[in-house]
């Protein structure tokens, strides 16, 4: 963000920091990975993002970030009662994508960056931060659109499945919401609905 004053740059970095902290994914990563994610977004992704003119450009930037993430971001070892239940290893495409999608919701939708006009342009292009319960809701709503191997958790989601999830989100926006909301708004609505629904099951 080379055109920002020192004060504006600090504000922007603080918003990015809050956006990453807002994602539940961060606690799964090795200590220090949040700093790497923040630096990648601030130094390599944001300026490209804020100057795009098409959905295809957004998709390319999103894909680049996720492909960087699966090579550079690692999940921490997980233990239960002193026993290792999951070894340290690379994050999945779905885990990086969800982290980025939550960050973009905070930066673009909640905080209206780069400005109100830019935020309004970007919001229809950015993706919903779909979690495991929202995936389950999509599977139940569109059973003929998913394979038997449809992932049951974000950690199982690879690029092909992620793109299908976002395709179904946009279909749901058209069919359930008359195309009057954006993916971040779908996220806000259906995160709450799905988690309330499946918390009881």
pLDDT in tens, 57-69: 999 999 999 999 9
Same domain, 21 and 86: yes
Burial (Cβ within 10 Å: 0-12, 13-18, ≥19) of residue 72? middle
Positive or negative, the Cα torsion across 152, 158, 163, 164? negative
Whole-number pLDDT of residue 199:
76
From 83, 108, 124, the end of a domain falls on 124
Same domain, 114 and 149: no
Over residues 129-179, the pLDDT tens digits come to 999 999 999 999 999 988 888 898 999 999 999 999 999 999 999 999 999
Same domain, 119 and 144: no
Same domain, 118 and 139: no
Same domain, 99 and 134: no
Over residues 5-38, the pLDDT tens digits come to 888 889 999 999 999 999 888 999 999 999 999 9
Whole-number pLDDT of residue 143:
92
Same domain, 172 and 80: no
From 124, 151, 167, the end of a domain falls on 124
> Does position 201 have pLDDT exceeding 60, yes or no?
no
Comparison of pLDDT for 197 and 128, the residue scoring more = 128
Whole-number pLDDT of residue 140:
92
Same domain, 29 and 58: yes
Average pLDDT, the chain: 92
Average pLDDT (38-62) is 96
Q: How confident is the model at residue 79 (pLDDT cuts 50, 70, 90)?
A: low
Query: For the whole model, what pTM was predicted?
Result: 0.93
- Number of domains the chain is built from: 2
Q: How confident is the model at residue 84 (pLDDT cuts 50, 70, 90)?
A: low
Same domain, 103 and 163: no
Do residues 149 and 122 make contact, with C-beta atoms less than 8 angstroms apart?
A: no
Same domain, 143 and 111: no
Average pLDDT (180-192) is 96
| 98/154 Cα distance (integer angstroms) | 8
Domain span at residue 31 reads 1-124
Same domain, 62 and 79: yes
From 85, 102, 124, the end of a domain falls on 124
């Amino acid at each position: 963000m080379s055109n920002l004053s020192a004060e504006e740059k600090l504000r922007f970095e603080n918003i990015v920091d809050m956006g990453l902290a807002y994602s539940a994914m961060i606690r799964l990563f090795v200590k220090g990975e949040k700093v790497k994610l923040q630096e990648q977004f601030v130094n390599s992704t944001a300026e490209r993002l804020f100057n795009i003119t098409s959905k295809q450009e957004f998709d390319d930037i999103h894909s680049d970030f996720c492909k960087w993430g699966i090579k550079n971001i690692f999940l921490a070892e997980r233990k239960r009662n002193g026993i290792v239940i999951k070894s340290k290893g690379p994050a999945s495409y779905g885990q990086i994508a969800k982290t980025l999608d939550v960050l973009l919701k905070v930066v673009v939708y909640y905080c209206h960056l780069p400005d109100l006009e830019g935020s309004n342009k970007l919001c229809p292009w950015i993706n919903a931060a779909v979690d495991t319960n929202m995936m389950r809701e999509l599977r139940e709503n569109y059973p003929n659109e998913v394979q038997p191997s449809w992932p049951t958790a974000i950690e199982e989601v690879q690029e092909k499945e992620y793109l299908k999830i976002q395709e179904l989100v946009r279909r749901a926006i058209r069919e359930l919401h008359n195309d009057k909301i954006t993916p971040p708004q779908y996220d806000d609505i259906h995160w709450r609905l799905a988690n309330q629904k499946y918390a009881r099951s």
